[in-house]
Amino acid sequence: MTGPGGRHVIIVGGGASGVLLTYQLLHRSSCSLRVTLIEQRPDIGRGIAYHTGNPDHLLNVRAANMSALPDQPDHFWRWLVSRQDGIPICPDPYCFVPRRVYGDYIASLLDRGASDCADEQRLTIVHSRCIDVSSGPDEAVAALEDGRRIVGDTIVLATGHDMRASSPGRVDPWTPPSAAPIDVNAAVLILGTGLTMVDYVLSLLRDGHRGPIIATSRRGLLARPHRRVDSMRIAEAEVPFGASIATLLSWIRARVAQHAAQGGDWRGVIDGLRPYTQRLWHELPLSSKRRFLEHARAWWDVHRHRMAPELESRITAALFSGQLNLMAAKVIKIEPNRDGAKVTYRRRGAAETHHLQVGAVVDCTGIVKDPTATPNSAVRSLFERGLACVDPLRIGIEIHPSCAIVDSEGVPSERLFAVGPLTRATFWEIIAIPDIRNQCAELAALLSREETGQLPTRRELSNV
Ligand SMILES: Cc1cc2nc3c(=O)[nH]c(=O)nc-3n(C[C@H](O)[C@H](O)[C@H](O)COP(=O)(O)OP(=O)(O)OC[C@H]3O[C@@H](n4cnc5c(N)ncnc54)[C@H](O)[C@@H]3O)c2cc1C
């Protein structure tokens, strides 16, 4: 049922994905479509990635690739130039700008006058936490923690990364060190060696930390830096879709070797694969997906999710000075004590365990690994109501290629959808803006088929 005022789409989560989808819906649909955007934070468009105030926290994708709009690839760059007022924040589109600035850009997408209709009547922003999502034959309902119920035709979850609930003895990496003071001379153990660790090390150094910093993960791998290279053109017909992970990885290695022999850089090959990674994931046999997650994911991540060259120089300097150490190890036990915590660990490949007294342990290992253990009650309510199920790899919720949430009976919903990192089980590469912007444009097109006033039918969904 579409209400008398036209279809009402409720979006839960006003981070980058929620804003991109809102923008697309307001621009693509007839003026009768309304959007309610629910966000628990005071800011819209920032989420975890772009709320940081630390100017050292840079984008890890060059400005040229960060347009929010797939049909206007230079949109972000033009916005950046227009607000520079003669003071260049960035010399050219290859640069990496502070993430805070990018948050300003995303928020600006919802400025008044963003579409031809009277937007203020079409978009309602609600600042509250959604604690329950339900759907019936005629409506979908989002219940808020302040007791309100928002009723619409469709709900889209754009709740982003499911962060771990904080646990005793561990510092949350999203709290800057200045807000949770750590003795500047104390040893700090960081769990995880990915880009969140890089952020946290930069925050510690900015705050004048003098003590040793030990970053640990199973393999101790560090993200590779970006270089000024163009992505290679790889024809779709060359890509071994549906092959096993072993075949796929040896094909990638061969392409890299061939490219290098011609004077190219491996980054060109990795970036050249970007248009195909979602299809590669989709067609990878389940057993290969498992092997990839277990054995190759860390390798892929450090090559695929790279750091800005400016950050590389600071991290390299900290490594050379000996203040920062990367350790391939398994942390076995963390025992909080008066001075911080006593940590028991075992180095990779070694049998014996060691102990380390640190002033603080910072958990930069990222997202919740078990989707049903999510601290997000909106997502949990879907499992409890049988409106969602966990995918076979247990990395996310089961999502139909149309973005419809699949229920516990295996049926894609006509009213409940998801975008962004929550959809990783189906799309895998769906955490960065260049992928999310396409997904939001496609879902907005599907939800905007308003001529008949009907929701997409199951048959339409299964043809997507
Ligand atoms: C540290 C970091 C740096 C990154 N850097 C880049 C980069 O440089 N380039 C790039 O392309 N990508 C980057 N990414 C990837 C990033 O995930 C995406 O760019 C994008 O920010 C994802 O947005 P999102 O809205 O899906 O998720 P999030 O940013 O997680 O936002 C989700 C929003 O939903 C809200 N929310 C959640 N649950 C509820 C609820 N129940 N009720 C109400 N509100 C709710 C949250 O408060 C949050 O604002 C980075 C990610 C991280 C974590």
Tell me the pLDDT tens digit for each residue of 320-362.
999 999 999 999 999 999 889 999 999 999 999 999 999 999 9
**Predicted local confidence at residue 17, as pLDDT:** 98
For the chain, the average pLDDT equals: 90
* Least confident piece of the model among 21-30, 390-399, 445-454: 445-454
| Probe target for ligand 1 pocket from 21, 22, 39, 310, with the most ligand atoms within 8 Å of CB | 39
Neighbour-count burial for 82-111, b at 16+ CB within 10 Å, e otherwise: eeeeeeeebeebebbbbbbbbbbbbbebbe
Residue 456 or residue 209, greater confidence: 209
Query: How far is residue 213's CA from residue 185's CA, in Å, rounded to a whole number?
Result: 10
Provide the residue count of the chain: 464
Query: How far is residue 334's CA from residue 338's CA, in Å, rounded to a whole number?
Result: 13
What SS3 class is residue 130? strand
Tell me the pLDDT tens digit for each residue of 245-256.
999 999 999 999
Averaged over 61-80, what is the pLDDT?
Answer: 96
Residue 427, by phi and psi: left (phi above 0), alpha (psi -120 to 50) or beta?
alpha
Distance 11 CA to ligand 1 centre (A): 14
Q: Domains of the chain: which residue ranges?
A: 8-163+369-463, 170-224+307-363, 236-304
Q: Is the pLDDT of residue 126 over 50?
A: yes
With a Cβ cut-off of 6 Å, ligand 1 is lined by 12-18, 38-41, 47-49, 59-61, 129-130, 158-161, 196, 199, 376, 378, 420-421, 431-433
Tell me the pLDDT tens digit for each residue of 92-110.
899 999 999 999 999 999 9
Tell me the pLDDT tens digit for each residue of 300-319.
999 999 999 999 999 999 99
CATH number of 8-163+369-463: 3.50.50.60
| Probe target for ligand 1 pocket from 51, 67, 94, 433, with the most ligand atoms within 8 Å of CB | 433
Atom number of ligand 1 nearest to Cα 99: 8
Residue 351, by phi and psi: left (phi above 0), alpha (psi -120 to 50) or beta?
alpha
Bridge partners (DSSP) listed for residue 56: none
Domains 8-163+369-463 and 170-224+307-363 share a fold: yes
Tell me the pLDDT tens digit for each residue of 37-64.
999 999 999 998 999 989 999 999 999 9
CATH number of 170-224+307-363: 3.50.50.60
> Which residues contact residue 237 at a Cβ distance below 8 angstroms, ignoring those fewer than 6 apart?
none
Atom number of ligand 1 nearest to Cα 199: 1
Say what the alpha-carbon torsion angle 399, 152, 372, 21 is, to the nearest 10 degrees.
50
